Structure 1
Amino acid sequence: MLDSHDTPETSPSSSGPALLDAFNARNASLIILATLAGVFFIDWAQAILLPLIVAVFLSYALDPLLFPFDKFKVPRPISAAIIVSLVIALMLSASIPLQREAVAMLDKIPIAVSKFKQTSAQAPAKEASIIEKAQKAAKEIEDSTSDKKKRTPGITPVRIVEKPFNVQAFIMGGASAALVMVSQVFSSLLLVYFLLAVGKLYRRKVIRISGPSFERMRKATHIMDDFHHQVRRFLFVMLLSSVFVGVFTWLTFWLLEVEQPGLWGLMAGIASGIPYVGPVLIFIGSGIAAFVQFGTFDMALLVAGASLVVTSIQGNLLTPWLTSHLSSLNPVAIFVGLLFWGWIWGPIGLVIATPILMVIKSLCDHVENLRPLGELLGK
């Protein structure tokens, strides 16, 4: 028979950590499941979310252009229609000469390939490596066994015939992809018009929903004002930086007599919106194009170095100076964001990854429960 002091009892001090561990494990599991569901939903709803997010960012970038119309009391639907029409006209007018330069560049790709083949053929033959010798020996063994199978009586050899390249199927597949892209661009521009036309409608609705107390509405107003300022300023800086890189890349390549300088300026301007990855791609691509055109490594290094100087000025001087009063992101967060959004949405995801991170950072700075995440994203 056990005494009272021998009876096992569960003290509050011993049960507290166990309950806390179970609670933390349950919360962590819910967070992981919610994150996985969110990633799956973002990937599944790409056809809807991608044009929507692009339209929201474009509306933020174009909204300051409507201020002169607002001063003269021009109705928002009319001023929004004028701005969107000017953007479409600018895109169409710039696409004609750029299309010619793009076709000329594509025509030179077979010439570049043949030139590299001739260069490699004229190069002295190198001694085969161990892996190449092993592959050659395995190929000889496979050929000998296949010859024996052919000489075996009563067995019909099987010959695998590769299906020829179907040009019609390739064109139809490309046409369907182009049709989807055109429809998404049209949807984005139409949504940009509606967002510009309604103005501050949704902003007022969000503030009204945050009520009913005056204190909550005032806090929501402060959050929305700072959110709009941060995002609009950041998108304006990105637009200005892209124009800077595009114009100076075009001017530099034109002075160096690089072919298709306008197309290179456009690609450099778009790639400047992709931190770290974009300038590297332009550096490598312009160097290869210069080597194909001039045939010397000196000109290839000069052209590639010129593109690197332009992007370095933009990345190390212009952008930090313009974004000195904005919430800044640390390089690790930017790189991880590029990996994630590039994996989810491809090249367009790389372009809009930084603005999305900027929006998340601005939101986390004002929501107390999300401030740890904002601290991880910031410098």
Structure 2
Amino acid sequence: MTEMPRTPKPRLHIPANAGNTSLVILAALALLFALRWASSVLVPLTLGLMFSYALTPMVDGLQRRCHLPRVLGAALLLLSLGGSLVWTAYKFSDDAVQLLESLPEVSKKVQSAVRAHRSPDESTIGKVQRAAAEIEQAAQQSGPPAPAPGRGVTRVRIERPQFNLQDYLWSGTLGLAASLGQALVVSFITFFLLVSGQTFRRKMVKIAGPSFARRRVMMQALNEVNGQIQRYLLVQLFTSVVAGLAVWISFSWLGMEYAGVWGLLAFGLDFIPYIGAIILAVTASLVGFVQFGAVDMALAVGVTVMTIHMLSGNLLSPWLMSRAARMNPVAIFVGLLLFAWLWGLWGLLLGVPVLTVVKAICDRVDPLQPIGELLGS
């Protein structure tokens, strides 16, 4: 009986070069080190670049319709936005300070509520602790009386100072000054990028080569990348405004205190996918539990926040955003973790816009198209 020849298993033959692979790994590690080491420079530069992408259509409209020079249009736009931010901060500063000063009290009340709702059955450790306390109390009662304090001796009782937000802010004046300096740097970067207009695009087209065909392809690719990034930023800004207004209105209807401050927090945290909504829902639920004293109202506050963010992220954003600009949820989550490790809080805010820029570039460059495919939905 002759044995039938076995069919060879299909294999995927991928040409590999150990030297090239090692160089790629070393280059990736060097890039991560450079991003982390130069974060103080890259974060303001990235913020200015993103703001310039989002504000360029407005400056172009002022130049085209109102016949304003780009310098004047960019200056007026940035001054208007800065004035709006200052007015908003001044308008809600008192409510924000009161809300922050109430957070320690919220923590105490939540701890008290958790202790009150514990099971009456004590654990073994609890019984041992209670027995030890009773033995110590009995020993103190049976022992000799404590000597009376001598004349002229004052008993001192140390009390922990209460949390004062104004003292805390005053002690952090240097940090506030550093933040204002970074905001000024970002403003200048944004202003110069808005004033430059098409300068960098013309230089990139010139670098592409002397032939007309190569320059045309480069111009089309740059236009598509710019349009895709601008569309993403404007859609994100619009959905964040909608989420903030929805939280403001919903919390006002539920009777939550400082509803305007919660709306501002919802607007800012909406720029952080997944994590921002969870932080807002948990914090608002705890504050709502302390304010209303009922678990159902705390759950209603948390469910309201999560519902608004789910509708905004799963319905409104995909409807407004083109198919080419959509990102893979797994890639977004991994990217957030990576940029949070690199740049901290700024990494959470800038992670998704940077990934959008990377995807837009990879989709237009042939050797990098597999990376764009991995990042896409």
1:178-216 Cα shifts (integer Å, max 9, x gaps): 222221111001111111111111111111111222121
Partner residue of 1:53 out of 31, 35, 46: 46
The answer to whether the aligner puts 1:127 opposite 2:122 as a matched pair is: yes
1:98-152 Cα shifts (integer Å, max 9, x gaps): 2212111122123223323433454555534679979x99xxxxxxxxxxxxxxx
Work out which structure has the larger RCO, using CA pairs closer than 8 Å and 6 or more positions apart in sequence: 2
> Within 2, Cα distance between the matches of 1:355 and 1:318?
18
What SS does structure 2 have at the residue aligned with 1:108? helix
RMSD: 2.6
> Within 2, Cα distance between the matches of 1:29 and 1:210?
29
Counterpart code for 1:254: S
Kept after mapping to 1: 8 A contact 2:71/2:195: yes
The answer to whether the aligner puts 1:34 opposite 2:32 as a matched pair is: no
More displaced, 49-58 or 24-33?
A: 24-33
> Within 1, Cα distance between the matches of 2:176 and 2:328?
36
What SS does structure 1 have at the residue aligned with 2:364? coil
Partner residue of 1:315 out of 313, 325, 328: 313
More displaced, 46-55 or 112-121?
A: 112-121
> Within 2, Cα distance between the matches of 1:349 and 1:176?
22
Kept after mapping to 2: 8 A contact 1:245/1:311: yes
The answer to whether the aligner puts 1:339 opposite 2:340 as a matched pair is: no
Aligned to 1:357: 355
> Within 2, Cα distance between the matches of 1:340 and 1:93?
35
> Within 2, Cα distance between the matches of 1:28 and 1:53?
29
Structure 2 vs 1, CA of residues 133 and 209 (structure 1 numbering), >3 Å: closer, same or farther? Answer: farther
> Within 2, Cα distance between the matches of 1:331 and 1:131?
45
Kept after mapping to 1: 8 A contact 2:232/2:325: no
> Within 2, Cα distance between the matches of 1:77 and 1:376?
40
1:26-78 Cα shifts (integer Å, max 9, x gaps): 11111111111111111111111100000110111111212332123211000
Return 5+ residue gaps in structure 1 as ranges: 1-19, 138-163
Aligned to 2:98: 104
- Give the alignment's TM-score, normalised by structure 1: 0.81
> Within 2, Cα distance between the matches of 1:64 and 1:133?
70
Kept after mapping to 2: 8 A contact 1:60/1:231: yes
Counterpart code for 1:263: V
Deviation at 1:307, TM superposition (A): 1.2
> Within 2, Cα distance between the matches of 1:345 and 1:172?
26
Aligned to 1:151: none
Structure 2 vs 1, CA of residues 95 and 133 (structure 1 numbering), >3 Å: closer, same or farther? Answer: same
Kept after mapping to 2: 8 A contact 1:223/1:366: yes
The answer to whether the aligner puts 1:118 opposite 2:112 as a matched pair is: yes
Structure 2 vs 1, CA of residues 54 and 121 (structure 1 numbering), >3 Å: closer, same or farther? Answer: same
> Within 2, Cα distance between the matches of 1:370 and 1:225?
18
Structure 2 vs 1, CA of residues 171 and 286 (structure 1 numbering), >3 Å: closer, same or farther? Answer: closer
Counterpart code for 1:228: N
Aligned to 2:80: 86
Return 5+ residue gaps in structure 2 as ranges: 1-13, 133-159
> Within 2, Cα distance between the matches of 1:115 and 1:325?
47
Structure 2 vs 1, CA of residues 276 and 38 (structure 1 numbering), >3 Å: closer, same or farther? Answer: same
More displaced, 300-309 or 116-125?
A: 116-125
> Within 2, Cα distance between the matches of 1:376 and 1:224?
21
Aligned to 1:189: 187
Structure 2 vs 1, CA of residues 170 and 244 (structure 1 numbering), >3 Å: closer, same or farther? Answer: closer
Aligned to 1:264: 262
Structure 2 vs 1, CA of residues 43 and 170 (structure 1 numbering), >3 Å: closer, same or farther? Answer: farther
More displaced, 301-310 or 81-90?
A: 301-310
> Within 2, Cα distance between the matches of 1:80 and 1:261?
33
Kept after mapping to 2: 8 A contact 1:84/1:193: yes
Kept after mapping to 2: 8 A contact 1:234/1:326: no
> Within 2, Cα distance between the matches of 1:375 and 1:132?
60
Deviation at 1:175, TM superposition (A): 3.1
> Within 2, Cα distance between the matches of 1:311 and 1:228?
27
User: How many residues were matched structurally?
Assistant: 330
Counterpart code for 1:328: R
Counterpart code for 2:108: S
> Within 1, Cα distance between the matches of 2:27 and 2:121?
55
> Within 1, Cα distance between the matches of 2:240 and 2:198?
27
Deviation at 1:81, TM superposition (A): 0.4
